[in-house]
Structure 1
């Protein structure tokens, strides 16, 4: 703290002595500096001050200074509170939020483990939800199964994974069906489908057609100095996962023979990832004002790939699971946050479709990679170790699995067993 204060006030001191008008124009102070005879003794012309205020380094220092001081306090009465008040409050708020989150997780963990006596009849979804959680945290069974669960999923829905499946048959690979199946696993291979309220009409929900989700922040993918490191990181991660899956699928093939395929997967992920939104872009509500009917969406981009030309059919198949396919027509309004993404995706899909069996193999490799990496945190430890950000304990991961897959059942459980009786009627 002392080091921070010294560095902070040296910076602010230099700024205040040389560019007093920068700060005075940035905010109104409740402290009359002249009244306390604390103004600098040197003279400075308004023109020079105005020019200095535009220097990025000094604008940044001024902004930091103003974000940390508490101008509601007279510095003559409590200089420490005046100088650090807002900064201290921000740290306290952050700690309070983290404490609330931990308490909520502790309560939910007790509910899912069955440590809380049911306050009413046990419902069917509750049984399934608790079974899901127990299976997820069963470390002994997870270690025993190793990679077999994901291999079974790949075989059932993707026709296997060309990287590890002997005799993989491209003629049996239907990319349309495979993409639908993968969406149910939360695996948005080429693009994602979400439901959210309309920012202009909050009482109406809309279908959101968005980009795939890269495994790292878009800002990093756009940084040329970092991109090479990320490409190597992807390559190493896919290689290590493939080695384990080859072993668990009882294949003796050397992973070195698969390096061209692994490079292709990494390049495709980086290519599409660079077109996704940055954190700053995602924070703007204006991206959710990009609305089209599905027909207008297809006409606007003049899609050439079979997948995107059939986007209406794709969405109808996706929503059929909720018996809502009839609600999807060419007149359905969709929100498209990332306008620049779709032409790039269309070009890539056309390239793959024109390659015939080879293109289908490349698509199957990429889709399989996305599915495998989405479930790595739930496999045995040697698979989990591949994920560099494996920092959340298994109970928290399993809690997230339940919250994503069965949110309504979890909410019902909380209301039944946690909410006081006098409040239950208001909630229901």
Structure 2
């Protein structure tokens, strides 16, 4: 009897103690399972042995850094990367399921066929056939290469018409006008270089990345049949030419001043900018000399060695007239390019252009090429092995049929309630920020008025556009994209051509800020501000994991 009484007494004490504890718990503290899991995750990442006042980075990330390993096929790892990896695994499932289910939807067939052909990429012959369409790669043909048949201008146009990388000498593209975001205009810019960092090229062969890039050039030529000593000699000239392009290109920090990068001119002006003009490094760094606003009729006048009207009209899907405005970014580069092209040996130019074709297609070739690429990336990026083939395939599908893949992702994995909840959170942040702006005393009245106006008119693009659920719209978007289930190499060329055609078709088009296609690729773990349209973009891909959980508190 005493034992029973004792048990009852203990039980009563526990009940009243628990009730008393519950009454004392701060109602603002979340104790749901999701909140407890999140608290545990935070404790696993922070380093409590360090004071946040002494080293906030170590305090907030210390344990995560200690416990996280960089995968061998990557050069870095972050919480963004972890979520992107998880999302990519979901995309793989969606694509491979679609491949098995014989979907009738056109865009689904295209993305699954592209995925399958990439898995089964072929060998060297498609690349050799492509090079032969330009007269061949001189380093392979040696004395049999016909110099008289080569013309860089005609070859550059052919690059665009076929659908091969076409930005190795100058970049031509259509985008929103930085000075008038209601329209799209044609831009001319410096080239995209083979080695990703222009400053690295300028360090020369003593730099590990440059020597690795040169080694890749030589080994690629040898793999296709060149003699090693011939490849070494001719690729040295190619590297010197690309370094010259890098030297005349702007550094990243110089390109950040967008007001100075904007130069309108006519095609006639461009033909007049180059004669007897060379730039010292001091002049190239002087921003007042580098950038000038001009009318479009000046384009042909400032660079007369190049037929800019013909070049541009062979790139665009809509011919332009001499009086039409184009935006030239960095006119000094145009001047320099117009001078050096006529002075460069045809063999060097052809070797450079063919090398850039080869470089752009390495991942589309067989295993020996992928091994060569892995060797290069290990030296330049620190990757120890190549990423799994399926990851490469998913990445390719995203880059080409990203809108279609986003449709599959939203239908399977995204809860539509998350869209409205996130929108409410962002609206609350806007309201609070507006209050902060009204309280500050250091901003001039005119500036404050503009800031408030910009805040009030900011567009919020959250989750996904509703049109993404309309399969007819998606099929219509991809109607001119043709994918062959048996030939990935040609698929890659067709895809590049289709993307380029679509971009150039937007020339002169009114920029519709509500064009759903601009915000329909939502399978990326990222959020960003789009300054040209004053829009905050939070795609569905980031609304997961540590960034979003509808069951966590909305403090």
Q: Is the 8 A contact 1:376 1:384 kept in 2?
A: yes
The corresponding residue for 2:139 is: 163
Tell me which of 338, 341, 344 is aligned to 1:349.
341
Q: 2:249 corresponds to which residue?
A: 276
Secondary structure of the residue that 2:140 maps to in structure 1? Answer: coil
**TM-score w.r.t. length of structure 2:** 0.51
Partner of 1:5: none
Taking structure 1 as reference, are residues 343 and 90 closer, same or farther at Cα in structure 2, changes over 3 Å only? Answer: farther
Q: Aligned equivalents of 1:313 and 1:151: distance in 2?
A: 28
Match in the other structure for 1:152: 129
Q: More deviation in 264-273 or 175-184?
A: 175-184
State the partner residue of 2:363.
377
For each residue in 1:343-383, what CA deviation from the matched residue of structure 2 results, as whole angstroms up to 9, or x when unmatched?
Answer: 2212221113xxxxxx3333221110111111223322332
Q: CA deviation at 1:257?
A: 3.3
RMSD of equivalent CA atoms: 3.7
Question: Which residue is equivalent to 1:218?
Answer: 198
Q: Distance in 1 between matches of 2:367 and 2:98?
A: 27
State the SS of the aligned residue for 1:83: coil
Distance apart, 1:409 and its partner CA: 4.0
Q: Deviations over 1:102-157 (max 9, x none)?
A: 2332233233333599898511x43233222221122xxx4xx43222112112x3
- Cα distance in 2 for residues equivalent to 1:287 and 1:149: 43
| Structure 2 unaligned residues grouped into runs of 5+ | 1-48, 66-76, 276-299, 420-463, 469-555
Q: Which residue of 2 aligns with 1:325?
A: 318
Instruction: Give secondary structure in 1 for the equivalent of 2:350.
Output: helix
Q: Deviations over 1:233-271 (max 9, x none)?
A: 44422221111100xxxxxx6332343322211111111
Q: Distance in 2 between matches of 1:297 and 1:418?
A: 51
**2:311 is equivalent to residue 311 of structure 1:** no
The Cα of 1:213 is off from its aligned counterpart by 1.6
CA deviation string 1:262-287 (max 9, x = no partner): 22111111111222232323444335
Q: Distance in 2 between the 1:180 and 1:307 partners?
A: 18
SS in 1 for 2:171: strand
The 1-side partners of 2:398 and 2:357 are apart by: 19
Is the CA contact 2:201–2:210 (under 8 Å) kept in the aligned structure 1? no
* Distance in 2 between residues matched to 1:325 and 1:289, nearest whole Å: 22
What are the ranges of 5 or more consecutive residues in structure 1 without an aligned counterpart? 1-77, 247-252, 353-358
| Number of aligned residues | 327
Indicate whether 1:180 and 2:157 are aligned: yes
* 1:270-307 CA-partner distances (Å, limit 9, x unpaired): 11122223232344433542333333333444679999
Q: Does 1:399 align with 2:394?
A: yes
TM-score (norm 1): 0.64
After TM superposition, give the deviation of residue 415 of structure 1 in Å: 5.0
Q: Measure, in 2, the Cα distance between the counterparts of 1:148 and 1:102.
A: 34
Question: What do the CA deviations read for 1:170-206 (whole angstroms, capped 9, x no partner)?
Answer: 3433433421333422342211223322233223223
**Shift in Å at residue 315 of structure 1?**
1.9
Choose between structure 1 and 2: higher helix proportion.
1
1: CA distance, partners of 2:304 / 2:351 = 17
Equivalent of residue 85 in structure 1, options 56, 79, 83:
56
Matches within 5 A, 1:249-260: 254-260=227-233
Structure 1 counterpart SS, 2:51? helix
